[in-house]
Amino acid sequence: MDRSLDLVPSYLFPINRRVFRRMTDGDRRVDRGRGSAAAAPPPYASSSGFGVAAMQLYRVCRVIALLLCSVGIFVSIYAYYVETKKEANRNYRAACDVSEWISCSKVFTSKYGRGFGLLEYLVGKEHWINQPNSVFGIFFFILHIILGQIQRQKTALIQVLMSVIANIGSVYLASILYFVLHDFCIVCFTIYIINFLILLCNITSWRDLSSFLRQKSRSGQRVKPKQS
């Protein structure tokens, strides 16, 4: 009770003091109720900080992977352009043809530049599926961008598996460059680096998304991550 009201003369405070005290006490109870409600932590507060951090890192990795895929598409288109120009004109010299031992067109026009040097033995050299490696790279990066927009644990795992296969292909083609063609391809190694960085992003995204969903399931809440 506010005892300061007793010091106020009655002729300065014409209304009933008891009524005023009831009004002020009621306001205080409302304010205390609001304060406790605002300060009350959510039932999953113990894991919310971890979940927010995991989702933030997940989104950052998705953005980085998107940028890497965009660069990969650009480099693959350039590789396809160089290959088609070289096939049409044997005297064409690309910007990536630095010397006899550092030449990308030499690699692109070899039998390993189409179907990874393997499809011609399976379906034939003239089969439509025996496309330049750059075409498969373009489809790979575009599919990666599409799957990256689906925030599901299984989709993230599929991206990890795709990246693992892509990096195995990178090791295979790099060994062909070194041991068979004895050449260094700047464009090829750029793609290899991009594939490796995408693999790191995919592993991190899958791990963080799995941790986020696991923490939310433990809290007893069904939470769907928001799309960025």
Model pLDDT for residues 180-212, shown as the tens digit of each residue: 999 999 999 999 999 999 999 999 999 999 888
Higher pLDDT, 141 or 37: 141
Higher pLDDT, 182 or 3: 182
Q: How confident is the model at residue 98 (pLDDT cuts 50, 70, 90)?
A: very high
Residue 172 has pLDDT above 60, yes or no: yes
Higher pLDDT, 226 or 78: 78
Angle made by CA atoms 80, 138, 93, in degrees to the nearest 5: 15
Please tell me the predicted confidence (pLDDT) of residue 151.
87
Please tell me the predicted confidence (pLDDT) of residue 129.
94
CB-count burial class (<10 Å; 0-12, 13-18, 19+) for 33? exposed
Q: Are 160 and 200 in contact (CB under 8 A)?
A: no
- In the chain, what percentage of residues exceed pLDDT 90? 63
Please tell me the predicted confidence (pLDDT) of residue 11.
44
pTM, two decimals, is: 0.74
- In the chain, what percentage of residues exceed pLDDT 70? 74
Q: Are 186 and 98 in contact (CB under 8 A)?
A: yes
Model pLDDT for residues 10-41, shown as the tens digit of each residue: 444 444 445 445 545 554 554 454 544 444 44
Higher pLDDT, 101 or 47: 101
Residue 88 has pLDDT above 70, yes or no: yes
CA distance 163 to 68: 13
Please tell me the predicted confidence (pLDDT) of residue 85.
94
Q: How confident is the model at residue 169 (pLDDT cuts 50, 70, 90)?
A: very high
Please tell me the predicted confidence (pLDDT) of residue 51.
65
| Cα–chain center distance at 8 | 68
